[in-house]
Amino acid sequence: MKGDRRGGAWMSVGSTFKTAEFRVDESGLGAPMTLALLDFYRRHPKLRDELTDVRVLRRIQDGSFSVEVAE
């Protein structure tokens, strides 16, 4: 993560061949939630299909993104 002139927090995501950068502090979820979700789905790649439907919203609401899940 790196800062910019406006004091924002940027995160790079991706491989060495294709990397995307975005400001986590400007996410509608807020930086702490965004980082927690990125970390959860980094640790549980088989669950990333949840990002395409309502399941990710349920994780945010009940906080289950922060606990270990059996895959």
What's the average model confidence in pLDDT over 38-67? 85
- What are the start-end ranges of the E strands in 1-71? 2-3, 9-14, 19-23
Q: Give the model's pLDDT for residue 38.
A: 84
Q: Give the model's pLDDT for residue 37.
A: 86
Q: Give the model's pLDDT for residue 66.
A: 61
Give the span between the Cα atoms of 7 and 52, in whole angstroms.
31
Percent share of the chain, pLDDT over 90 = 0
Structure token pair of residue 38: 């990125």
